[in-house]
Structure 1
Amino acid sequence: MTASLATAAGASAMGLRSGLGFLMGAALVAAAAATCGYQSCPVTKPDMLNVHLIPHTHDDVGWLKTVDQYFFGVRNDIQHAGVQYILDSVIPQLLADPSKRFIYVEVVFFARWWGLQTEAMRQAVRQLVAEGRLEFVNGGWCMNDEAAVHYNPVIDQMSLGLHFLKEAFGECGRPRVAWHIDPFGHSREQASLFAQMGYDGFFVGRIDYQDKAQREALREMEQLWRGSGSLPPPAADLFTGVLPNGYNPPMSLCWDQICSDNPIVDDDSDENNVESIVAYFLGTAAAQAKHYRTNHIVMTMGSDFQYENALLWYKNMDKLIKHVNAKQLNGSRVNVLYSTPSCYLWELNKANISWTVKYDDFFPYADGPHQFWTGYFTSRPALKRYERLSNNFLQVCNQLEVLAGAQANVGPYGNASSSVLRQAMGVAQHHDAVTGTAKQHVTNDYAKQLSTGWDACEVVVSNALTSIVGSKENFIYCTYLNISVCLLTEVASTFMVIVYNPLARPVGWNVRLPVNGSHYSVLDPSGQAVLNEVIPVSNFTRAVRHDRGDAVNELVFQASAPPLGYTTYSVSRLPGKEPARSRLLKRLPHQPGADQLSWSIQNEHLRVLVDPKTGLLKEIQNLDKNISLPVSQNFFWYNASAGNEENSQASGAYIFRPDTSQTFPIAKGAQVHHVKTQVVEELYQNFSAWCSQVVRLYAGQAYVELEWTVGPIPIHDGLGKEIISRFETDLQTAGRFYTDSNGREILERRRNYRATWNLSQTEPVAGNYYPVNSRIYIKDQKVQLTVLTDRSQGGSSVFDGSLELMVHRRLLHDDSRGVGEPLLEPGDFHHGLVVRGRHLILLDTAESSAEQHRLWAQQEFMAPQLVLAPGQGPPYQPGQDNVKEFSALHQALPSNVHLLTLAQWEPDSVLIRLEHQFERGESANGSMPAVVNLLNLFSSFNIITVQEMNLAANQKLEDVNRLIWQPAEGKSSTLNVATVTDWMGHICCYKRKMASGDQKTHKSLGNTLC
C-alpha cells in the first residue's frame, strides 16, 4: 500500500508543518486538578476599563554579561543582574498568594534553574503552571532576533525551548502568546512562523516612532498581521499588539530594587502618597485607553532583570490594586488586576470586533529622527558567518545522528550528541547575539559556545561516518579552508575527501584544498579520474592567514554528492607538472589593433568583462539567455557620524548613521591578476592594503562568485567607516528593490516609503536599509540582477539601478543604546578584524530567475560538508566493506521540496520537516504541487508510525485550535486549522526507526495516513 502526502496545492506554497511520533508519558503533569490556559484567567468587569498588570522580567541571553554571568549574578560591576535569584524570589510570592501572576520567557535560563531545584520545588512550580499563575510566553530557548536570523535556526531554537516546557509541564506549559518585546524591528516571516506554531497572538515592544504615533492616533495599536502572501488565511494570520510603553512600566511606577520611584505609602504617615499615585495612575490609564479599541489595556510591570527581590514589586502592586479599585465605590470605572498576556489576549478576542490587517513588516526600526537601527544588520560580520556555518554543521550533525543511530553517540571517537551545538545555536539566535550588539567579551563567549558545540558534533559525525563508511579513519575537519589552511592536505601525499550533502537533491560543489604539491590525481568512487587543477595561493590569502599555514598552492576540482549522502574522493600527489601561474594585467591605454576595450573571464554560461583602465567590473553577459547588462562594482565607505549639530546620534553597533549620503571609494581602480584553468577562471582585484576581491567563474556554474576580503579597516584618521560593495546598472528600477524575509518569502522595498504611514525621512541612506538574509535583487521589465549573501547583511538601493550590501563596519563611538562600547573588534592579531565572504551574482530574465536563484540560495545555506582523512583505516567491523558513496534516500525529493529537518527527537523517534519552498506564483514549475511518498523515502530506516504536529513539534496538528479573529477587510475564515495546513505545503512527520523489512511498516503507515 502506498501512502503519500501532497506538500503543496496550487496557489498555497511556502507553508511549514512539523511532526513527531511519540507520546509524552508519566513525567508530564496531569492538570486535571487545576485549569490552565484561558479558563484560568481572572474575572474582569465588562462595564469598566480593565487594566491588566503583567509582572514580568526581561532577561537577555547575554548582552553586557555572558549567559553564565547573568544567570549566576557575577560581574555586577558591569550590570546588576542574577537570573537565578529572580526565579528564587518570584516563586515564593506566587505560592503565598493565589491572585498573583508572573510570566517567564527565556527557557535557557529557566531550564538551568530547573535543573538545580529539589523535586518538592519542581512539584510546586508544576502546580503554579497548572493553575495558570506562572505562565510561559514565547517559550523559545531565547527571544530571538528577527532581522539577522534565518528561519531554519529560529524554528530549531523555538522547538528546543518548547520541547523542554512540554516535557516539564505538559499541555499547561505550552505558550499561547508570542512575546518579542525587545528585538529591534519585526519580520513578516516571524509572524508566519509563530502562526504555524499554533500561537494565538503576538506582542511587540519596539516599532518605528512615526509608525507608533500614527497607530496611536488611529487606534491601530492592535491588528491582524498576515504573515504570508502564499498561505491561505488564517494559516499565517497572527493577532499582533504593540505594547504602550515598550516593555517598561509607566513612569513613576517602577518598584524594583534598581528603581528610584517612591513606593506606595498608605499608613498614617506624612509620607502617605496614595491619593497622588492613584490619581496619577487613573490619568495614565485613561490616556493609554485612548489609543486602544476595547475596554482592556495592558501595563508591563517589570523590565530588564527585575524581580530579584519580588517582594518589592508585589507589595506595591497589591497596594495599587487595592486603592485604585477602592475608588469604584466613588464612581470610578477602572478595574486593576494581575494578569498575563494570554488573559489579556483572551479578552480582546471575546470583544468580537474586526481588526485591520497588516501585510508588510516592521523594518527598518527607528526610535527617533536620525536614529535608524540598521547598523546591526551587518555588525560583527565574522560572528554572523560563524553562526551561519554552525547551523549548516548542526543540520549535518542532526542528520548523521539519525542515519547512524546510537552508533553516532557512542563510538570509537568518544561519546557525544548534537544537543551541545543545538543549545549553542539556540543562544546564538538571541537578539543581542547574532545581531552583533553585545559587548566584545560576550561576543567571544557566544563564539566559544558554538566552538564547544562544533567539538561535540565532530565526534558525532566521526562516529556516524565510521559506521556508514565502514572504516576507522582519522577524520579531520579543516575549518580554515577559506584562508587555505589544512595541515592534512598540506603535508599528506594521499588523503580522502568525503563530500557530505545535507540537501535532499544531488548537488555539485567546487572543492578547494591547500596543498604543497603541483600535480595531483583525484579519483571518484568508481576509480575514474576527476579533472583537477593546481593554482597558486594568492597573496591576498597569504596576508590574511599570517603564519597559520604554509600551503603554496590550492587543489581545485568539481565534486558531486547524492541527496542526503556523500561521495568519497581519493587524492594522491604526483610528481611533475607546474601549476597555473597568475599574470599581472597592467592598466594600459587602448592600443590600435589590440583588444584593450575590456578584459574578460568566461565559461559555458557567463562572460564577465572588466574595464582595463580601472580593473573594475564592467559588464555581465548571460550567454544562455543572450542578456548583457552593464554592471560596475566597487567598494566604498560611509563616514560614520559621531553626532552633529542637527542630532547628537552617533553610528554604533545598533545604529547606522553616515555623516552624509556621500560615499568614498576605497580605490578608484584595482590591480588585477588573472588565473585561467580548465576548472576555474579568476580575476584577482587588489583595491588597497585592506580590501581585495576575486571575481571567479567555475566551469559549468551559472553565477559569478565574488570573494571579498575586507579589513582591518583603518581608523588612524580618526574616522569610523562602514564598508559597502555597490553594484551600479542602467536598470530602470523606479525606487524599488527586493529582499528576502529571513531566507523565505520576498518583500518589495520602496525607497523613502512606508506602506502604513507617510514617512518623514531624516536619513536617506540608513532609513532605506533592510536586512538581507540570503538575497537582494533589482529588476526592470526584462532583466533581474540578484546578489546572494553568505551571511546576514544590511542592504539597499539608494539610487535607481543600484544595489549595495554593507560587508563590514568599524566605529569609534558608542551609539548610546546600552552596550557602552564602540564597535572596534580587535580581530585575531588585535589590529582590527579581517572578514572574508562571498557574494554570488546572478543575471537572468525577470520572469525566469526565481527557481534557480532560490535553489542556489538554499545550497549556499545548506552547503556540503567536507570531511578529510588520511585513508586506509581498518574496517569498522571485521569484514565490513568500505562504502565510498552513500545516499539515505531511495530517490531525490522534488526540486521544490526541501528536507528542512531530520533530527533525533527521542530515543525511538525522529523529527522530520518537509518544506515546499516556493511562493505562490514565484515559479511556473516550482510553485506547483509536489507529492512525496513517505513510505519508501529513506533507505536507512523504515517508518512504522507517523504523527503530524504543528511547526514547533509541541502539539499534535489535530489538536491545534487557534483563536479566530475577524479581519476588517472581510469575513473571517472559518476553515478548520487541520484543513488549512493540509494546503500549506510542508510536511513534518515523526518516525520511528526499525529494521528493514518489518511487515508492520506498510500497514501501520497506511492506517495512519489513509
Structure 2
Amino acid sequence: MVHNVLILPVIVFLIATVTGVPAGNAGGYNVGCVKCHALDKNKINIHLIPHSHDDVGWVKTVDEYFYGVNSGQVSVSLIITSVVEALKRNPNRRFIQVETAFFHKWWEENEDLREDFKYLVDNGQIEMVNGAWSMNDEACVNYQSTIDQFTWGLRKIEEMVGKCGRPRVGWQIDPFGHSREQASILSQMGFDAMLFARMDHDDKDKRIQNGDLNFLWKGSANIDDSIIFGSCFPNSLYNEPDWFCWDINCGDDQIVDNPHSPIYNLEEKVKKFATVLQNFSTYYPEENKNILVTMGGDFQYQAAGYNFGNMDKLIKGFQTFDTEFNLIYSTPSCYIKAVNDARPNLSLKTDDFFPYSDRNNAFWAGYFTSRPTIKRFERTGHNILQATKQMYALSSSFSDDGKLTELKEAMGVLQHHDAITGTEQQHVTSDYVRMLTKAIKESEEPLGEIISEFLESDVKMDLSSCLLSNMSICSTSQNNDKFVVAVYNPLAWKTTHYIRLPVKGGSYQINGPDGTEVYDLIETLFSFNYVKIKNEKPSSIELVFAARDIPPFGFKIYHIQRTKKVKITNKTRVSKVTSFEMDLVTNLIKSVTLNGVSINVSQNFHFYQSNDGYSDASEVASGAYIFRPLRDEPLVLENATIIKQFSGKLIEEVHQKWKNEYADVYQSIRWYKNENYLEFDWIVGNIDLDKVGFGKEFISRFNIDNFDNKDTFYTDSNGRELIERVKNNRPTYSYNSSQEPVASNYYPVTSRIVIKDEKKNLEVAILTDRSQGGTSLDKGQLELMVHRRLVFDDNRGVAESLDEYEFDGGLYARGSHYLVFGPIKNTDKDKQSTAAKERILAQKKLLQPWVGLAPTNFTFEQLKHKMKLSYGALTAELPENVNILTFEPWVNGSYLLRLEHIMEKDDDNVLSMPAKISNLKDIFKNITVTEMTETTLAAHLTRTELSERGKYSWIMINNSFSTTNARTVINADEQITLNPMEIRTFILKTEKKSNSANGRNSCFISFGILFLVLYLF
C-alpha cells in the first residue's frame, strides 16, 4: 500500500492544478480558489474587505477616470497596478476586484503584469466579485440588459484569469435602492449572495434593532429557487470607519507602531477601532461571531502600500492589545462561508428596497426620471444590440462577433448606476452618447450584406437605422425618391410594426412581399425648429405604413418610391373618433374604447415645483438623485388646444398643444387601427427655470372615473414581475409618510404601472418606453414623471444641477405611453387576459423590429427579381408566452441561446401554464443543433458545475432549505419545459446549412478548385 500513499499527494496536486483550486490553506479554509484566514471561535471575527469603488463614469468620463486626467488625478489604472504590487509583498493581504470594464482596460494595457494578477487570483489573494461589465443600477435598468452585461463581463473575466476568477458574490454596494429582480438574476446565475450598502435609513434602523442586517431574499414570486443570502454593511455606506482612511487622498493619521517614537499611536488606534467594532456588534444577534467591515471607498488604493501597511499594523495591534475581536484580511466569499457555518436563523424578504431615503425628506426617486433622453437612447441601443446579435448568429458569413463587441461594452457601461440613472455630469452624459452612437454604427455596418445573404442576393444595401427619427430627421427617407426599408423582427413570434419615416411630402408607392401597401401621410407633431445639426433639417411630414406579420427572426423588404407632390389637409376640431373621444371644452381626452370595453379617462400634464433645500432649513433639494416637491399638489397645465386631427387608413390621431409660459408641451393621442392599446406620444422641452423661480418636474397624470384601487398599485421590477405597492406603506418597516407624501410613494417604472378595481373587475395599465418615476396618489389615478429641469444640486456628489441643454436651449424629451385596460379576470377562459396583453405588448415595444434604410436605384420590379423579399429563420413561431431572450455567437463557433417564459403564474388561464418546446434541435431552418449544454443564467457556469460545486443551505426562521438547483444536461431532441418567469440558458454546438445562394457559390468554388486540380495534373 506504500505506492498508494505516494501517489495520493500527486493526485491532489494534479486536481488542484487542473481545477485551479489551491491545494490547501493551513489554519484557514478555502472557498473555491479564495484562501480564507483562520477564524477564532472565542472572538468576534472581523472580516476586513479591502476594496476600491470605481465608477464607470460619474463626474468624469470612463477614460478620464481610468487614465487619471481632468480635475483630479484619480487613476483606476494606477489603482490596479498598485494593488498588485502591494499584494505581492505580503501573501496575507486580500483585495476584491469589481468593475470588469476597468479591469479589462487595465489587462489590455498591462501585459507585463498579467501573470502577476493571475497568480494572485489563483493564490486566493484577489477575489473577483460581481463580475458584470459595470455595477449596474437596479431601478432604471431592464432585466435583459442586466443579464447581457453580466454575461459579457463574466465571459471576459474567464478569458483573462481563468476559472479561479469566477465571481460568486453580487457586490452592489452603491446603487440607490435594490430591486427584487436583481436578487432573482444573481440567484439564477448561481451566486451565493448579494452584498450592498444603501438601504432606507428607517429600514436600516429597524434591521439594526432586530439584528436583521443579514437576511434571506426571495427574488421571484414565481421561481422557487430564487432565494439568495443578502447582507447590508454595518457602516453608514461602503467606506472604512471614520478615522481609518489611509488612502493618499485621506487626512487620517497613519499608524505609528514604533513604541520608541514620541508619536507612537498603535494602542490608541486599536482602542478607537475597537469602539467602532463594539458598536457594530450591537447590530447583530449575540451569537453572531462574524462582522464584515469594508476598508476602502471611491477610487482608493492608488498607493495601496499606505492602506495595506496600516491594516497590517492594525491587525497585529489587535493580536497584542485586544481580546474581544479577531481582525483578518478577508473577502466576501470568506465572510459568507463563515456566516453560513455559524447556522444563523435568518428572516425572509419578499419585496424590494425602493424608494431609498438616506435621511428625513430625502427620497432618491428623482433619478428614476433624470436625463430622460439618455434613458430612451439606452433602450434603443438594447433593441439594436439584440437584433444585431441575432442576425450575426444566423449568418454564415459573420459568425465572428468582433463588430458587436463595442456595442456590448457600450451597453454594459450604460447600465452603470451613474449612467442610465442620469446622475452623472453633463459632459459625461455626452461621452456616453458618443460611445453608444459609435458602437451602434459599428455593429450595423455589415447588416446590409447579412440581409442580402438571407435574401439570396448579391445586391449591396448600405442599411442603417434612423437614430434621429424622433426629431423627424432621416437622411435616407428625406433625400431620396427611391429607397429600401428592411424590417427585421427579433421576437420569436410574428409581429406587425408601424413604420414612421420623415419624408419631404408628396405621394408614394410602397411595395413589399405582400403587394402594394397602404399608407398615411401625417404632419409631424412638432416643428423641431430648435434642432441645429449640420446638413440635417427636420421634416414636417411623416409617412406611416404597416409592416405586417414580420416572420419571427425574419425580414421583410419594402421598396418605397416618391411619385408626386400632394398637399396634406387636416381637420382642427374633432369630438369622437373610433377609439377615443375628446372633450371639446377642455380639449383633453374624455373616454376610450378598446376591445369592446369603454372607460372614462382624462389625461393632462402637471408640474411639481422643486424644493430648493432652504425653504424649510432641511437643506434637502430636488436634484439629479432626489425628488422633493415644494408642495404636495402639482400645478396643472391649462389652455390645451387641439391643433390637428387625422383619421386615415391606418391610424387616427389628435395633436394637442398646451399654451403656457413654463415649457413647450405637445402630445399626439394615437390609435393604430385594430390594435389593443392607445398611444400617447408626448414632447416636453425647453422648461423655463425663470418662471416661478424654481426647478420644474413634469408629470403626465391619468384619472379614471369611478375607479377604486384602494390605495394599491403595481409597478414592474426591471421589466419582469409586478410588485404590489400600497400608498404610505412599507411591508417591513414604518416611516413618517407626512414628511414627503409624494416622493415617498414614488417607485421606478421600467415597463408598466397598473391599478385594479376588484369590484369592477377592471385593470388599467400604462406602459412606458423607458424608466420613469411613477405612483398612484388617489383613487383611479396614475402619474408618471416625464422630464425634470432643476436649479439646485442635491449635494449627493454629482456637484452639478440637473439643467440639461441642447442646441442652445433647454433639453426636449419625447416619449410614448401606452394605455391598456380590460378585465382583471376573464369569464371567457379562451380569451387572452389583460395582464397577458400587457406583457406581450411590453415585449413588442422593448424588442421592436430593427428598421434599416438604404437608397436604391432599382425599381421595385428590378429589386424583386434580384432578391427574395422575405425570410424567416425559425421553422415555426414559438407560443406567445415564450421569448427567445438571447441568440448570439458565443465562443469557439458555439451559440448562446436563452428561452424565457414571459408570464407570471397568475397572469392568464392559458398562457401562464408551463410552456413546452418539443425539439430545440430543429428550431432554426439553417442551423442544426448537434449538442447543447445547459448553464446558469449568465452562461459562465454549467448546471453540472453548479451541482458539483453546490450552493449554500440556510436556516430561515421556522424553515430550513437549500438553494441548490441541480438540473442536469439535456439532449437537443428532448422536450424543454419552461415554467412561469423561468429563463433557461444553453450553449449550442451546431452545423449550419448553407443558404441556397451560398450553396451555389460553394458549388462554383468546388468546381473551380476541381478544374484547377485537373489542369495542373
**Normalised TM-score (structure 1):** 0.90
Change beyond 3 A, Cα 1:336–1:873: farther
How many Å apart are 1:735 and its aligned residue?
A: 0.8
Partner of 1:373: 364
Cα deviations by residue, 1:526-546 (Å, 9 ceiling, x for unpaired): 4x2222122233444566689
Cα deviations by residue, 1:885-910 (Å, 9 ceiling, x for unpaired): 01110101111111111111124111
Give 3-state SS (helix, strand or coil) of 1:420's partner: helix
Change beyond 3 A, Cα 1:911–1:289: same
How many Å apart are 1:408 and its aligned residue?
A: 6.7
Residue 415 of structure 2 corresponds to residue 426 of structure 1: no
Give 3-state SS (helix, strand or coil) of 2:432's partner: helix
Partner of 2:626: 655
Percentage of pairs with the same residue: 39
How many Å apart are 1:760 and its aligned residue?
A: 1.4
Give 3-state SS (helix, strand or coil) of 2:162's partner: helix
Partner of 1:383: 374
The CA RMSD over aligned residues, in Å, is 2.3
Cα deviations by residue, 1:682-719 (Å, 9 ceiling, x for unpaired): 10001136001000111111111110000011112232
From 243, 258, 264, the counterpart of 1:252: 243
How many Å apart are 1:100 and its aligned residue?
A: 0.5
Change beyond 3 A, Cα 1:237–1:862: same
Question: How far apart in 2 are the matches of 1:358 and 1:809?
Answer: 33
Q: With CA pairs under 8 Å and 6+ residues apart, which has the higher RCO, 1 or 2?
A: 1
Matched to 1:82, the amino acid is S
How many Å apart are 1:32 and its aligned residue?
A: 5.9
From 815, 825, 832, the counterpart of 1:837: 815
Partner of 2:77: 84
Partner of 2:157: 165
Give 3-state SS (helix, strand or coil) of 1:279's partner: helix
Q: How does 1:803-952 map to 2 (within 5 A)?
A: 803-827=782-806, 829-847=807-825, 848-871=833-856, 882-932=867-917, 933-952=919-938
Change beyond 3 A, Cα 1:889–1:28: farther
Residue 140 of structure 2 corresponds to residue 148 of structure 1: yes
Matched to 1:60, the amino acid is D
How many Å apart are 1:668 and its aligned residue?
A: 4.3
Question: How far apart in 1 are the matches of 2:398 and 2:464?
Answer: 19
Partner of 1:989: 986
Matched to 1:491, the amino acid is N
Question: How far apart in 2 are the matches of 1:534 and 1:927?
Answer: 40
- Whether the 8 Å contact between 2:916 and 2:977 is mirrored in structure 1 is no
- Whether the 8 Å contact between 2:610 and 2:630 is mirrored in structure 1 is yes
Mean Cα displacement is larger for which, 160-169 or 237-246?
160-169
Residue 514 of structure 2 corresponds to residue 549 of structure 1: no
- Whether the 8 Å contact between 2:525 and 2:667 is mirrored in structure 1 is no
Residue 467 of structure 2 corresponds to residue 479 of structure 1: yes
Matched to 2:850, the amino acid is Q
Q: How does 1:695-714 map to 2 (within 5 A)?
A: 695-714=669-688
Q: Which runs of 5+ in 2 are unaligned?
A: 1-15, 826-832, 970-975, 996-1017
Partner of 1:601: 577
How many Å apart are 1:635 and its aligned residue?
A: 0.4
- Whether the 8 Å contact between 1:814 and 1:822 is mirrored in structure 2 is yes
Change beyond 3 A, Cα 1:392–1:691: same
From 534, 546, 551, the counterpart of 2:521: 534
Matched to 2:359, the amino acid is G
Cα deviations by residue, 1:933-964 (Å, 9 ceiling, x for unpaired): 20110013111111111101101111112111
- Whether the 8 Å contact between 1:772 and 1:794 is mirrored in structure 2 is yes
- Whether the 8 Å contact between 1:209 and 1:366 is mirrored in structure 2 is yes
Give 3-state SS (helix, strand or coil) of 2:700's partner: strand
Question: How far apart in 2 are the matches of 1:564 and 1:551?
Answer: 32
Partner of 1:269: 261
Partner of 1:446: 432
- Whether the 8 Å contact between 1:397 and 1:460 is mirrored in structure 2 is no
Matched to 2:415, the amino acid is Q
Question: How far apart in 2 are the matches of 1:755 and 1:531?
Answer: 53
Q: How does 1:103-182 map to 2 (within 5 A)?
A: 103-119=96-112, 121-182=113-174
Question: How far apart in 2 are the matches of 1:851 and 1:27?
Answer: 51
- Whether the 8 Å contact between 1:615 and 1:672 is mirrored in structure 2 is no
How many Å apart are 1:880 and its aligned residue?
A: 9.9
Q: How does 1:930-1009 map to 2 (within 5 A)?
A: 930-932=915-917, 933-960=919-946, 961-973=950-962, 976-978=965-967, 985-996=982-993
The size of the alignment, in residue pairs, is: 937
Give 3-state SS (helix, strand or coil) of 1:406's partner: coil
Partner of 2:1008: none
Question: How far apart in 2 are the matches of 1:213 and 1:94?
Answer: 37
How many Å apart are 1:924 and its aligned residue?
A: 1.1
Residue 737 of structure 2 corresponds to residue 751 of structure 1: no
Q: How does 1:524-673 map to 2 (within 5 A)?
A: 524-526=512-514, 528-541=515-528, 548-549=536-537, 551-560=539-548, 561-575=550-564, 578=566, 580-585=568-573, 599-602=575-578, 607-622=579-594, 624-625=595-596, 627-643=597-613, 644-673=615-644
Q: How does 1:205-284 map to 2 (within 5 A)?
A: 205-232=197-224, 235-245=225-235, 246-267=237-258, 268-284=260-276
Q: How does 1:12-91 map to 2 (within 5 A)?
A: 30-31=20-21, 37-38=31-32, 40-75=35-70, 77=71, 79-91=72-84
Question: How far apart in 1 are the matches of 2:580 and 2:527?
Answer: 21
- Whether the 8 Å contact between 2:357 and 2:364 is mirrored in structure 1 is yes
Question: How far apart in 1 are the matches of 2:98 and 2:870?
Answer: 45
Matched to 2:65, the amino acid is Y
Matched to 2:296, the amino acid is G
How many Å apart are 1:175 and its aligned residue?
A: 0.9
- Whether the 8 Å contact between 2:589 and 2:602 is mirrored in structure 1 is yes
How many Å apart are 1:407 and its aligned residue?
A: 3.6
Give 3-state SS (helix, strand or coil) of 2:992's partner: coil
Mean Cα displacement is larger for which, 700-709 or 38-47?
38-47
How many Å apart are 1:31 and its aligned residue?
A: 4.4
Give 3-state SS (helix, strand or coil) of 2:297's partner: coil
Give 3-state SS (helix, strand or coil) of 1:57's partner: strand
Question: How far apart in 2 are the matches of 1:944 and 1:310?
Answer: 50
- Whether the 8 Å contact between 1:52 and 1:338 is mirrored in structure 2 is yes
Residue 314 of structure 2 corresponds to residue 338 of structure 1: no
- Whether the 8 Å contact between 1:736 and 1:778 is mirrored in structure 2 is yes
Mean Cα displacement is larger for which, 309-318 or 536-545?
536-545
**Normalised TM-score (structure 2):** 0.89
Residue 91 of structure 2 corresponds to residue 98 of structure 1: yes
Q: Which runs of 5+ in 1 are unaligned?
A: 1-25, 411-415, 586-597, 999-1010
Question: How far apart in 1 are the matches of 2:130 and 2:215?
Answer: 19
Question: How far apart in 2 are the matches of 1:465 and 1:214?
Answer: 58
Change beyond 3 A, Cα 1:476–1:87: closer
How many Å apart are 1:610 and its aligned residue?
A: 1.2
Matched to 1:42, the amino acid is H
Question: How far apart in 1 are the matches of 2:936 and 2:703?
Answer: 44
- Whether the 8 Å contact between 1:391 and 1:425 is mirrored in structure 2 is yes
- Whether the 8 Å contact between 1:620 and 1:843 is mirrored in structure 2 is no
Partner of 1:358: 349
- Whether the 8 Å contact between 2:926 and 2:992 is mirrored in structure 1 is no
How many Å apart are 1:922 and its aligned residue?
A: 1.6
Question: How far apart in 2 are the matches of 1:28 and 1:608?
Answer: 68
- Whether the 8 Å contact between 1:145 and 1:430 is mirrored in structure 2 is yes
How many Å apart are 1:798 and its aligned residue?
A: 1.6
Cα deviations by residue, 1:639-659 (Å, 9 ceiling, x for unpaired): 001012251111100000011
- Whether the 8 Å contact between 1:107 and 1:139 is mirrored in structure 2 is yes
How many Å apart are 1:978 and its aligned residue?
A: 2.1
Give 3-state SS (helix, strand or coil) of 2:960's partner: coil
Question: How far apart in 2 are the matches of 1:459 and 1:301?
Answer: 46
Cα deviations by residue, 1:12-61 (Å, 9 ceiling, x for unpaired): xxxxxxxxxxxxxx999844667863562111011211111111100000
Matched to 1:51, the amino acid is I
Question: How far apart in 2 are the matches of 1:178 and 1:418?
Answer: 26
Question: How far apart in 1 are the matches of 2:474 and 2:356?
Answer: 43
Question: How far apart in 2 are the matches of 1:198 and 1:550?
Answer: 50
